Amino acid sequence: MSEFEAKTNVPPVALLGDILINNKGEEIATSKAFEDVDIVGLYFSAHWCPPCRQFTPLLSERYTKLREAGKKVEIVFLSSDSDEDSFKSYHSSMSFLALPYSDRERKNEIANKFDVRGIPNLKLLDAKSGEVICSNARSGIGGANFIEDFPYLPKPVYDIGENVNGINGAISLLIMMEAFEDAGRKKEIVKSFTEIAIKQIEKNKASSGERMISKFWTATSGKGPGASIRKLMNLNRFTLPHEHELMENKKSPSWYCDGCNKNDPEAKRFTCIEAGCDFDFCLDCFEASEKDIKEEDKQPIMAILDLSDDNEGYYQPLGENNMSVTQENIEKFISDFADAKLEKKELQK
């Protein structure tokens, strides 16, 4: 075990060794690279990984924009490439630094220290203390307010269209209202739900109970895995049309459907024509998005999704009178779950 593995927090300047390299292969002292830096990003990635190849150009572009906006940030690429030539070729496309490929032991130790189980993964650390500020900043980097929201401190409530990090392994309360057309009421629900979530998170800190809801999510648009989540919980499903025009595009080995997350290279692919909008539908989702949505399916609903280890299932409110999404019913739903009054139902996989 290395010295830094045994510690909880280690300053990045000690964590990453004495030397880093830029995208031209030139060495730079780590202490020099982190001068006047508040946030250090650790980017775990590899060229052989299709989602990495999709995310890396965006990260490179937005890293530059963050720096131009005055954010004191540095990012270091930690490669999972299979050989040094692949690493050099991939790193040359990035705008930030990298740990030398030859330092394999250090890279593996850092990945183990931060329990990196999948890539791409971007962790943001406090440059002085090494404390993890954001465990995976992919969603933050990809958001419309990536500069204003930086460094993506945890929120009490996330919308699944911007972030689903942490939903696996947790007990989550979701309010699904993707097709709800009352914009004013939708904002009121989000505001009330956020206040409830803040109180519950504080309550959790003082409790050791097992039946605690730890994550809170909304679904306010067609973005994100709403259809997949509805399928898991056997809820009525629909596909909202994309906000921009789509056209049939050529097949690609590395694309993912934004409706069902299918990544079949041979599937028909419909792509957004709007510049800068990376959105695709498969044929099934494209056709589904053109169908009318029933009025009853447009109404907000709430459910508890339990994806904690060995206890998977979902829950719905107890009784018809408690189904509507109001502050009182949300609080009762949480209370009924804590008191084990709700029936657990099996996920539909």
What is the domain partition of the chain in residue ranges?
4-142, 158-236+294-338, 246-288
197-209 residues labelled b (16+ CB within 10 A) or e (exposed): beebbeeeeeeee
pLDDT of 206: 81
Report percent pLDDT > 70 for the chain: 97
pLDDT of 209: 64
Q: Report yes or no on whether pTM surpasses 0.85.
A: no
Residue 318 has pLDDT above 80, yes or no: yes
User: In the numeric block, which tokens belong to residue 136?
Assistant: 């995976």
pLDDT of 2: 45
* Best CA proximity match to 243, nearest among 159, 147, 161: 161
Mean pLDDT on 279-301: 92
On the question of a common fold for 4-142 and 158-236+294-338, the answer reads yes
Residue 58 has pLDDT above 50, yes or no: yes
* Best CA proximity match to 171, nearest among 36, 337, 332, 12: 337
pLDDT of 4: 46
Q: How many CB atoms lie within 10 A of CB 92?
A: 12
Considering the domain 4-142 in this protein, what is its CATH number?
3.40.30.10
pLDDT of 27: 96
Residue with tokens 């052989």: 48
The predicted-structure confidence for 126-170, as pLDDT tens digits, reads as follows 999 999 999 889 988 988 889 999 999 888 999 998 888 788 888
Q: How far apart are CA 26 and CA 206, in angstroms?
A: 50
Residue 348 has pLDDT above 80, yes or no: yes
68: burial class by Cβ within 10 Å (0-12, 13-18, 19+)?
Answer: exposed
Q: What is the DSSP letter of 81?
A: -
Considering the domain 158-236+294-338 in this protein, what is its CATH number?
3.40.30.10
The predicted-structure confidence for 94-119, as pLDDT tens digits, reads as follows 999 999 999 999 999 999 999 898 89
Q: How many CB atoms lie within 10 A of CB 61?
A: 12
* Best CA proximity match to 77, nearest among 117, 121, 44: 44
